Chain A
Amino acid sequence: MQKKILEFTNILRKSGIRVSTAETLDAFAALDELSIDDRDVFRDALRATMVKRGEEVSTFDQLFELFWSGFYDHLRDAFGTAAEGLEAFGIELEDLLRQIAEQLQNMQGELGDLSELAQAMLTADLDQLEQLIRAAASQSGVDRIENFLQVGFFSRRMLEQMNYEGAGQELRDLAARLEAAGMSPEEVAALRALIDRLMEAARKSVRNFTERSLQQHNHDYMEKFRRETLLEKSFYHLTEEEIRKMREVVERLAQRIKNILSIRRRRLKRGKLDLHQTLRRNMSHGGIPFELAFKQRKKDRPKLVILCDVSSSVANVSRFMLQFVYQLQEAFTRIRSFVFVSELGEVTQLFQEGDINDSIEQALDGGGVINVYTRSNFGAAFHHFWQNFLSAIDNKTTVLVLGDARNNYNDPRAWCLRDIHEKAKNVVWLNPESPSAWGFGDSVMDRYRPYCDVSEECRNLRQLSAMIDRLVL
C-alpha cells in the first residue's frame, strides 16, 4: 500500500503537482486515522494532504481515477462482454464451466493443470488477472513509456511476459481434448467462441493498461509543453484557440508582476520620520513618542500613452500588449491609448466602460474612430498625434509605440516622433520584426530609432513580459 501511494505521488509530481515529502507523510498519517475501505474518503484524504491549489484539483481527480481504479472496471467490462457472447449459443458460462470440470474429471485432470493465465481467463477471475497484468507490466518496464508510439511495443512485451500465446494454445488444446472426450458439438463451438473472445479481451486489457500508464505518466505533459511553446511562439502565427489560451497566460504573468510589485512598493514606501504625525499619535501617551510615524514616499507611477498599430500584421502583438497594460492598470497613474493604421484615434474611453477583452477586440477593430482597412502610414498617424494630442504628453509620460514601422513608402515624418521624444520621459518602441529587418524594404524603423529611448524586438510573449516588467518596476 505504501509503495503504491509513493508511486502515485511520483505520478502527481510528473504531472506538475508539487508534492513534498512532508505532504506525503501527512497523507500516511491521515490514512492511519481513517478506514480506507471507503474510496471517497480515501481520495479526499489524499487530496486534502497532497493537493494545495484549487486549479490542480481536477488534475488530481483525473489521475486518481486513472491510477486507483479504472483498470479493474475496464477488466470487468471487457470480460463481461466476452462472457455475454455465450448467450448466442444459449449456454450459461457457469454451466459450461461445470461441464468442463466434469469432463476433465473423467479424463483424470482438473482445471488446476492449466497455467495461471489460462485458468484466470477461463474462470474470469479478474483479481488474479489484474495481478498477472500488473506483474507483467513491472517486469517489462511499462513505467518507462514516453509516447504514444510505444504503446504497441510495450503491450507486446507484456503479452510475451505473460505467455499470452501459450495460454491461448492451452485453451484451444483443452477444447480439442474435450471434443475428443465427447462433449456435444454445440458446447464445443460455444467454448471455442468463448476462448476467442477471452483472448481478445485479455489482449485489449493489456493494451488498455499500457495506454493508462502512458496517460498517468504524461498527463499534463502536453499542456505544459503547449504553455511553454506559447511563450516562445511568434505573434504572427496564432490560431483562434491559441489566442484564447494565450489570454490566460498573459493574465497569469500580469498577476505575477502585480504580486512582485506590491512587495517592492512596500519596501520603498517608508520614508523619513513624520514629526507631525508622531506627535499627534502619541498624545495619549502624554507626548512621549512610543509609536513612530513615517512619511510615505510618493509612489512614482508612470503615465502611459500607448500608440498601437492595429493593422492586421501586428494586431496580435497589440492585443496582448493592451491586455497586459490594462491588467496592470493600477501600476500606472493614467493610461491613454490610441490606435492607428493611417488614421489615428483615441480608444481610452472603451477601456473605462467594458470588460478588458471585449474592449480590446473593439479597439483592434478601430474602436469606431478609425478605419482599419487601409494601408499603414506611420507618418500620417504620428503627424495626427502631434497636431491633436501632443499636450497629453508631459515629462512623466512614457510613450509606448507598437508597430512594425512598415510605412508603405510614405513619408515617415520622423520629426513628429522627435518632438514627442523631447516632451516625454521615455519613448519605447516595440517592434514585432527582428532587428535585422529594420530599415529594409519599406521599414522606416531606422529613421524613428534615434528618437526612441528603447527600441526592441517583441515577437513573443516572453519578450513582451520582460518588456512590461522593465516598464513598471
Chain B
Amino acid sequence: MFDSVEKVETLLGEEKYICDRKIATVVFLAEKLEKPVLVEGPAGVGKTELAKVVAAATGRSLVRLQCYEGLDEAKALYEWEYSKQLLYTQILKERFVQVMAGAKTLSEAAERIGKEDSVFFSEHFIVPRPLLHAITSEEPSLLLVDEVDKSDPEFEAFLLEVLSDFQVTVPEIGTVRAVRKPLVFLTSNNAREMSDALKRRCLHLFIDYPNEALERRILEMKVPGVNEHLMRDLVGMMQRLRELDLKKIPSISETLDWARALLALNATDLDEDVVNQTLNVILKYEGDVRRVQGDLSRLLARKTGEAKAPAAAPTVVPTRTVAKKGALH
C-alpha cells in the first residue's frame, strides 16, 4: 500500500492532511511492521484525524472505539445478546419438548439440553463490539482506540492481548484470530501514563504543535480563501499565544476555527477590535481571555513591528548532504 515514506506523505496530502516526515515515517513503519501506533500529544493537534486520514488513504474501513472511564470488555469486545437468546428459547420451546421427550430422569433431560448448549452460545448470539469487529473483519480495517488514557488500567491490560497477537478469547467459543491484521492507532492526551507493557508493544508518535511554516500550509489547505497578509498575522499570533502561560494552549484546530470565524466576519486585517471579538474562539477559559486581552496591544504591536520589517529571508534549508555523510558510521 505504502511503498516509501514519501508515498505516505503524498497519499495523506491527497486526503488533505499535511504531515511532516516524522509522522509519515511512523505511519509507514506501522504498516510494514504491523505494529500498533500510540499517538500522544496535546489536544487538538490532529491525532484522531491522522487515524481517519490513514484509513481513507489506504482504503481501510475505520472501526472506532472511544474510551471512557468504566469502559469494559462487554462494550469493547462482544456481548451476548440475551434478549435474542430468550426469544429463541420461547420460539423453540416445542423443539425442547421433543428433545427431552423420553428422558426418564431430570438429570438425563438436563444432559440432553446440555448437548444443545452450543446452539445458544454461538457466534449467532454475539453482538460484536468494535474490537471483535476489527479483528474478524474480512476487509482490511483500521482500529482507532481513541483517548485510551481515559480508560481504566484493567481495560488497558485487556487491550494488550489484542494488540500483541491480534486475537481475542471468547470463553464459550474459543480464540478468534484476526483474518487480516488491522492497523491500530491509539491516541492519548496523557491524562494518565500508559503502562510500559502497552507502550512496548506500540510504536510511539508524539505530535506537537506545528511550527509556523507547517501551520501555514495546513491553514492554506483546510481553509482556502484566507489572504496572504491575514494568514501571516494569524499564524504568527497563534505561535506567540502558545508561548504564553495559558491554562489551555490553543491548538491547530483553534487556528482553523479562528480562520473560519475571521472569514465569516469578512475580516481582512487582524486589528485589536477583531481580535477582541473573536478571542473566545481560540481561548476556552475566562482567565486566559482576560490575560491575553491585557497583553493584546503588546502581542499586536509585535505583529505590526514585524509587518513593517522587510519580508523575512526564505528559511535556510539545512544541507542534508553534509549531515548525511557524518550520520552513519
A interface residues, Cβ below 8 angstroms from B: 1, 4, 18, 20, 22-23, 26, 29-30, 33-34, 36-42, 44-45, 47-49, 51-54, 57, 68-73, 76, 130-131, 134, 255, 259, 262-263, 266, 284-286, 288, 290-291, 354-355
Q: How far is the CA of A37 from the CA of B321 in the complex (A)?
A: 10
A288 touches B86 (CB 8 A): yes
A71 to B154, CA, bound (A): 47
Q: How far is the CB of B312 from chain A (nearest CB, A)?
A: 24
Q: Which residues of A contact B247 (CB under 8 A)?
A: 355
- Residues of B whose CB lies within 8 Å of any CB of A are 5, 21-22, 25-26, 28-29, 32-33, 35, 37-38, 40-41, 82-83, 86, 152-154, 190, 192-193, 196, 199-200, 202-206, 247, 287, 320, 322-329
| B152 and A54 within 8 A (CB) | no
A49 to B202, CA, bound (A): 8
Please indicate the chain A residues that have their CB under 8 angstroms from the CB of B196 in the complex: 18, 52
Decide if B328 touches A1 in the complex (CB within 8 Å): yes
Q: Which residues of A contact B327 (CB under 8 A)?
A: 39, 42, 68-69
B82, A285: Cβ atoms closer than 8 Å? yes
| Contacts A33-B33, A39-B323, A42-B327 known; 7 new A-B pairs at CB < 8 A | A37-B324, A41-B25, A48-B203, A49-B204, A53-B193, A54-B190, A72-B325
Q: Give the complex CA separation of A20 and B329 in angstroms.
A: 24
**Can you identify 20 A-B contacts, CB atoms within 8 angstroms?**
A4-B328, A18-B196, A23-B200, A26-B33, A33-B32, A34-B25, A37-B324, A39-B327, A39-B328, A42-B328, A48-B37, A48-B203, A52-B199, A52-B202, A57-B206, A72-B326, A130-B326, A262-B152, A284-B83, A354-B287
What is the CB-to-nearest-CB distance from A45 to chain B, in angstroms, rounded to a whole number? 6
Closest to A40 in B: B21
B191 to chain A, nearest CB (A): 10
Determine whether the beta carbon of A263 is less than 8 Å from that of B40: no
Q: Is the CB of A285 within 8 A of B83?
A: yes
Q: Is the CB of B323 within 8 A of A48?
A: no
Task: Find out whether the CB atom of B35 lies under 8 angstroms from the CB atom of A33.
Answer: no
For A42, the chain B residues whose CB sits under 8 A away are 327-328
A130 to B153, alpha carbons, bound, how many Å?
Answer: 49
If over half of B's interface residues share one DSSP class (helix, strand or loop), that class is named, otherwise mixed; here it is helix
Q: Which residues of A contact B323 (CB under 8 A)?
A: 39, 69, 73
A234–B35 CA distance with the chains assembled, in angstroms = 47
- B25 contacts A29, C-beta separation under 8 Å: no
- When distances are taken between beta carbons in the complex, the residues of chain A under 8 Å from B32 are 30, 33
Residue of B at shortest CB range from A50? B204
For residue A263, give the distance in angstroms from its CB to the closest CB of chain B.
6
Cβ–Cβ contact B206 & A54, under 8 A:
yes
Question: Is the pair B86, A285 in contact by a Cβ cutoff of 8 Å?
Answer: yes
Kindly identify which residue among A36, A38, A49 contacts B203, using a CB–CB cutoff of 8 Å: A49
C-alpha gap A39/B5 in the complex (Å):
13
Per the bound structure, the CA–CA distance linking A417 and B83 in Å amounts to 62
Interfacial chain B residues near A34, Cβ < 8 Å: 5, 25, 28-29
Q: Are B25 and A76 closer than 8 Å at their CB atoms?
A: no
Query: In the complex the two chains form, is B41's CB within 8 Å of A54's CB?
Result: yes
Is the CB–CB distance between B33 and A20 below 8 Å? no
- CB < 8 Å: which of A33, A47, A76 contacts B28? A33
Complex interface: chain B residues within 8 A of A70 (CB):
326
A48, B325: Cβ atoms closer than 8 Å: no
Once the chains bind, are B329 and A130 in contact (CB under 8 Å)? yes
Q: Is the CB of B22 within 8 A of A44?
A: yes
10 smallest beta-carbon distances between A and B, as pairs: A72-B326, A52-B199, A44-B25, A33-B32, A290-B82, A39-B327, A48-B203, A52-B204, A48-B26, A44-B22
**Docked CA distance A86–B320 (Å):** 28
Report the Cα distance A184→B63, complex, angstroms. Answer: 80
- Shortest Cβ gap from B130 to chain A (Å): 20
Please tell me if the beta carbons of B326 and A47 are within 8 angstroms of each other in the complex. no
Cross-chain contact A33 with B29 (CB below 8 angstroms): yes
Most interface-central of A4, A38, A48 (chain B CB within 10 A) = A48
**Whole-angstrom distance between the Cβ of B6 and the nearest chain A Cβ:** 10
CA distance A41 to B29 in the complex (A): 11
Distance in Å: Cβ of A49 to nearest Cβ of chain B: 6
Q: Are A26 and B38 in contact (CB-based, < 8 A)?
A: no
By a CB distance below 8 angstroms, the chain A residues around B205 are 48
Complex CA distance for A255 and B191, rounded to whole angstroms? 10
Q: Are A30 and B5 in contact (CB under 8 A)?
A: no
Rounded to whole Å, the gap between the CB of B221 and the closest CB of chain A is 22
CB distance from A388 to the nearest CB of B (A): 32
Contacts of B325 in A (CB 8 A): 72
* B37: A residues at CB distance < 8 A: 48
Residues of B contacting A41 in the complex (Cβ-Cβ under 8 angstroms): 5, 21, 25
Set of chain B residues within 8 Å of A134, measured between Cβ atoms = 329
Inter-chain contacts of A288 with B (CB < 8 A) = 86
Given A33-B29, A259-B192, A71 and B326 contact (CB-CB distance below 8 Å): yes
- Check A44–B26 contact: CB distance below 8 A: yes
Which residue in chain B gives the minimum CB-CB distance to A36?
B328
Alpha-carbon distance between A404 and B83 when the two chains are bound, in angstroms: 66
Q: How far is the CB of A244 from chain B (nearest CB, A)?
A: 13
Q: Could you tell me the distance between the alpha carbons of A52 and B194 in the complex, rounded to whole angstroms?
A: 10
Bound-state CA distance A134–B192 (Å) is 43
Contacting pair B200 A45 (CB below 8 A): no
